[in-house]
């Protein structure tokens, strides 16, 4: 890697901007018609020739049915452009699309702003780029401004369009799934077509995540060029990948799904969320390490903090919570070494099941006749922090809140409302509703000394409307922004408060929500076997310390599968560890093993939660993760083999992140290990049988 200072440089002769990160470069130019066009993105070496050339070769037009094929930095609808447009607008007189004239640019350190104005209409746009000295991630976003007297209708306002160089082929890696099976990694060839990735659910969604990686089909875990992007937005979104018949690949992405339109009023400006991208030559592993590092340095609010060992009551008690029962669980949890006790759903209003009570955020007197105070106090006395489940955006029709404010919910007049999990969604785009939510949350945290909120959202948005509102589709944007604002305000006013992002598990996980939360409830599925795939996909983008992972009872409530305690622990120890079982029914042997493994987790957690994640190659039957401390002195390897079979190869993991010249001390086995040998294959002492697992903790000698 050439040590070029990360920077933005403008070359006026070629009207070319050069953005340089530690290991990559991004080039774009201003077209004679004023449009910013993509030139190159890749390693320093790969972009060297373009950067050094006297002139940037202008693409040519193939026929009267084509444009020149140059990729726009933000696709527009005018001229000979036929790909998906990231900016789709209509002026009051019916004219569609923007036609740009350059209006200068600004460079402030690593921040480039390219200013554009429409040639005939009072519309301005700014394309923003930010590069930093400590990451290869380039952040991009767009700002639109209506300087006129008339409204502009916006169908799409994407954050950015990304393009990769011509490759021999294109493969996409993305994350799909559903409730209880989020973050399933899929890899397939990119078809010559427009491929849409989207959420129309008003949440990031369990079904698709706005993270994507592109390679030429040959990249591997530790080698090969990978381009990856991620949208920092927690509502509906769309990313459209376009491989055209000339074999060029671009993708445009931003908030909102297709079919929505909203107004940019006179004098208004609109900022899109960040759509970040990176190039690495170090394969899929290099890409996820670069994302983890970027999120830690620039997004997550508390990256240096150790995530506490959590106990959460949900799988143990469901909605049947009361002071005495929770106290028993809290005492059992404290004895095991738990540091944060979280009271889940069921503590408020008339909430005895999921049909009633959402919206009435005062303790249910039948369960907590003395309020929450005594339980919070006792949990604190037991030496744990106290966390509480809330679902602030939702309401049951059977609630005092709904009876009082039926107009507060998202709904369309003359359309039947859809209840999902018996609940409706509040319209936080209304100032009064958002203010109400902030007020009770603030009061709850303040009055009870609450240390942690698990902020849940258990339904998708449907029938979205705002009776009487002139711009009903703004709801899709304003709601998410209000959630961000409330979380930001709570954090600012309660600096010790930590928040977990949850939407029926991992339905709202993205870089937008991560900027104001400390961890994500990865999935409601706590079956350790299913979790291996979920955690593998999650780790493509998200670092381990935000991956909340509980050990629950066996058989598992989602799958009915029985697994050994040790296997369940080893799966959860790969992230932000927690417990969620009926501890009061565990045997003394199980409790003793649990306490011992929690002590091990505390010993290794700094490496797991703050280290660098590798996914070592194994014998093929075993899955493994390897965390290396930033200084390379400490290593944790966790390996799992789900099924055993006669004649399987000897389980090994190739630990290429170890120093070949170093010797390591295997802490739990009190043995010495050579880095050179372990790089070629560490023999894993997996016990016989299915659901085998092991953990290795190494310290450089």
Residues annotated as catalytic are: 456, 524
Rule CB under 6 A: is residue 345 a binding residue for ligand DGJ? yes
Rule CB under 6 A: is residue 360 a binding residue for ligand DGJ? no
Rule CB under 6 A: is residue 456 a binding residue for ligand DGJ? yes
Give the residue from 40, 20, 42, 44 showing the smallest Cα distance to 29. 40
Which residues fall within 8 angstroms of residue 296, CB to CB, at 6 or more apart?
303, 543, 610
Give ∠ CA 674-677-682 in degrees, rounded to 5. 100
Phi-psi sector, 202: left (phi>0), alpha (psi -120 to 50), beta: left
Rule CB under 6 A: is residue 524 a binding residue for ligand DGJ? yes
Return the number of the residue (352 or 665) whose C-beta is nearest ligand DGJ: 352
In this chain, which residue has its C-beta nearest to ligand DGJ?
A: 345
Strand partners of residue 269: 145
Return the residue of 227, 237, 368, 389 that touches ligand DGJ, per CB under 6 A: 389
Which residues fall within 8 angstroms of residue 312, CB to CB, at 6 or more apart?
342, 344, 387, 454, 550, 578, 579, 580
Which of these segments, 22-30, 378-386, 502-510, 561-569, binds ligand DGJ (CB under 6 A)? Answer: 502-510
The DSSP annotation for 216-233 comes to -S---SSSB-EEEEEE--
DSSP 72: B
Q: Closest distance between ligand DGJ and the C-beta of residue 520, in Å?
A: 10
Return the number of the residue (264 or 321) whose C-beta is nearest ligand DGJ: 321
Return the number of the residue (118 or 391) whose C-beta is nearest ligand DGJ: 391
Reading the block at residue 366, the tokens are 């039948």
Which residues fall within 8 angstroms of residue 43, CB to CB, at 6 or more apart?
23, 24, 25, 225, 279, 281
Report d(CA 106, CA 111) in Å as an integer: 8
Q: Closest distance between ligand DGJ and the C-beta of residue 354, in Å?
A: 7
Return the residue of 303, 387, 504, 578 that touches ligand DGJ, per CB under 6 A: 504
Q: Closest distance between ligand DGJ and the C-beta of residue 547, in Å?
A: 14
Return the residue of 274, 434, 487, 502 that touches ligand DGJ, per CB under 6 A: 502
Return the residue of 521, 538, 664, 691 that touches ligand DGJ, per CB under 6 A: 521
Binding residue count for ligand DGJ, defined by CB under 6 A? 11
Q: Closest distance between ligand DGJ and the C-beta of residue 389, in Å?
A: 5
> What would the x/- binding string for ligand DGJ be over residues 297 to 326, using CB under 6 A?
-----------------x------------
Which of these segments, 224-232, 498-506, 625-633, 670-678, binds ligand DGJ (CB under 6 A)? Answer: 498-506
Return the number of the residue (72 or 456) whose C-beta is nearest ligand DGJ: 456
> What would the x/- binding string for ligand DGJ be over residues 426 to 445, using CB under 6 A?
--------------------
Q: Give yes or no for a contact between 174 and 212, defined as CB atoms under 8 angstroms apart.
A: yes
- Tell me the Cα Rg of the chain: 26
Rule CB under 6 A: is residue 458 a binding residue for ligand DGJ? yes
Which of these segments, 247-255, 377-385, 476-484, 501-509, binds ligand DGJ (CB under 6 A)? Answer: 501-509
Which residues fall within 8 angstroms of residue 403, CB to CB, at 6 or more apart?
none
Rule CB under 6 A: is residue 344 a binding residue for ligand DGJ? yes
Q: Which residues inside 536-575 make contact with ligand DGJ, applying CB under 6 A?
A: none
Q: What is the 3-state secondary structure (H, E, C) of 399-462?
A: CHHHHHCHHHECCCCCCCCCCECCEEEECCCCHHHHHHHHHHHHHHHHHHCCCEEEECCCCCCC
Which of these segments, 24-32, 139-147, 322-330, 500-508, binds ligand DGJ (CB under 6 A)? Answer: 500-508
Q: Closest distance between ligand DGJ and the C-beta of residue 528, in Å?
A: 16
Give the residue from 230, 335, 323, 326 showing the smallest Cα distance to 278. 230
Report d(CA 670, CA 668) in Å as an integer: 6
Return the number of the residue (343 or 464) whose C-beta is nearest ligand DGJ: 343
The helix (run of H) or strand (run of E) holding residue 210 is strand 208-215
Q: Closest distance between ligand DGJ and the C-beta of residue 16, in Å?
A: 49
Return the number of the residue (307 or 626) whose C-beta is nearest ligand DGJ: 307
DSSP 544: G
Reading the block at residue 59, the tokens are 């693409």
Return the number of the residue (398 or 524) whose C-beta is nearest ligand DGJ: 524
DSSP SS3 for 122? coil
Q: Closest distance between ligand DGJ and the C-beta of residue 623, in Å?
A: 24
Q: Closest distance between ligand DGJ and the C-beta of residue 312, in Å?
A: 7
Please give the residue ranges that form the binding site for ligand DGJ (CB under 6 A): 314, 344-345, 389, 456, 458, 502, 504-505, 521, 524
């Amino acid at each position: 890697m050439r040590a070029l200072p990360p920077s933005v440089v403008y070359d006026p002769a070629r009207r070319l901007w050069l953005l340089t990160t530690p290991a990559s470069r991004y080039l774009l130019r201003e077209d004679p018609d004023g449009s910013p066009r993509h030139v190159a993105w890749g390693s320093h070496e790969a972009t060297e020739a373009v950067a050094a050339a006297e002139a940037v070769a202008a693409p040519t037009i193939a026929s009267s049915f084509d444009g020149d094929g140059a990729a726009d930095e933000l696709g527009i609808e005018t001229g000979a452009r036929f790909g998906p447009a990231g900016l789709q607008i209509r002026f009051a007189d019916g004219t569609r699309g923007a036609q740009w004239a350059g209006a200068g640019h600004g460079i402030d350190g690593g921040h480039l702003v390219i200013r554009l104005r429409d040639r005939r209409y009072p519309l301005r746009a700014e394309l923003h780029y930010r590069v930093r000295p400590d990451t290869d991630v380039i952040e991009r976003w767009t700002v639109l401004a209506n300087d006129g007297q008339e409204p502009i209708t916006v169908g799409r306002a994407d954050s950015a369009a990304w393009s990769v160089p011509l490759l021999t082929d294109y493969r996409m890696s993305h994350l799909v799934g559903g409730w209880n099976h989020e973050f399933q990694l899929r890899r397939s060839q990119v078809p010559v077509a427009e491929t849409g990735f989207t959420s129309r659910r008003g949440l990031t969604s369990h079904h698709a995540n706005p993270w994507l990686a592109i390679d030429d089909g040959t990249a591997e875990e530790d080698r090969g060029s990978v381009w990856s992007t991620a949208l920092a937005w927690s509502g509906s979104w769309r990313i459209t990948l376009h491989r055209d018949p000339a074999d060029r690949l671009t993708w445009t992405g931003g908030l909102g799904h297709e079919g929505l339109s909203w107004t940019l009023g006179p004098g208004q400006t609109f900022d899109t969320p960040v759509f970040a991208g990176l190039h690495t030559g170090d394969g899929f592993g290099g890409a996820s390490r670069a994302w983890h590092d970027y999120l830690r340095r620039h997004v997550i609010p508390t990256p240096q903090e150790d995530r506490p060992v959590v106990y959460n009551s949900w799988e143990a008690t469901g909605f049947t919570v009361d002071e005495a029962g929770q106290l028993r669980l809290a005492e059992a949890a404290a004895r095991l070494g738990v540091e944060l006790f979280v009271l889940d759903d069921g503590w408020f209003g008339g909430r005895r099941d999921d049909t009633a009570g959402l919206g009435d955020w005062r303790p249910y007197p039948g369960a907590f006749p003395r309020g929450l105070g005594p339980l919070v106090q006792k949990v604190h006395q037991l030496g744990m922090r106290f966390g509480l489940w809330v679902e602030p955006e939702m309401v049951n029709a059977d609630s005092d809140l709904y009876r009082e404010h039926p107009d507060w919910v998202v709904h369309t007049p003359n359309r039947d409302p859809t209840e999902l999990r018996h609940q409706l969604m509040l319209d936080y785009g209304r100032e009064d509703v958002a203010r109400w939510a902030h007020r009770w949350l603030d009061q709850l945290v303040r009055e009870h000394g609450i240390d942690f909120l698990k902020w849940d959202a258990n339904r998708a948005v449907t029938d979205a409307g705002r009776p009487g509102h002139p711009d009903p589709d703004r709801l899709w944007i304003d709601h998410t922004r209000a959630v961000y604002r409330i979380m930001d305000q709570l954090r600012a006013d309660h600096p010790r408060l930590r928040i977990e992002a949850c939407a029926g598990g991992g339905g709202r996980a993205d870089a937008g929500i991560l900027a104001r939360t400390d961890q994500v409830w990865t999935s409601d599925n706590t079956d350790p076997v299913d979790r291996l795939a979920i955690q593998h996909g999650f780790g493509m983008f998200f670092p381990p310390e935000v991956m909340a992972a509980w050990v629950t009872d066996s058989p598992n409530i989602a799958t009915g599968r029985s697994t050994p305690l040790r296997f369940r622990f080893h799966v959860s120890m790969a992230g932000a560890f927690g417990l969620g079982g009926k501890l009061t029914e565990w045997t003394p042997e199980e409790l003793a093993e649990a306490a011992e493994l929690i002590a091990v987790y505390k010993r290794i957690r700094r490496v797991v939660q703050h280290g660098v994640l590798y996914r070592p190659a194994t014998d093929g039957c075993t899955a493994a993760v390897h965390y290396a401390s930033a200084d390379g002195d400490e290593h944790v390897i966790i390996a799992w083999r789900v099924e055993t079979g006669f004649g399987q190869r000897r389980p090994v993991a190739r630990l290429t992140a170890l120093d070949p010249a170093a010797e390591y001390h295997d802490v739990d086995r009190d043995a010495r290990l050579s880095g050179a040998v372990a790089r070629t294959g560490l023999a894993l002492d997996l016990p016989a049988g299915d659901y085998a697992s092991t953990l290795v903790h190494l310290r450089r000698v």
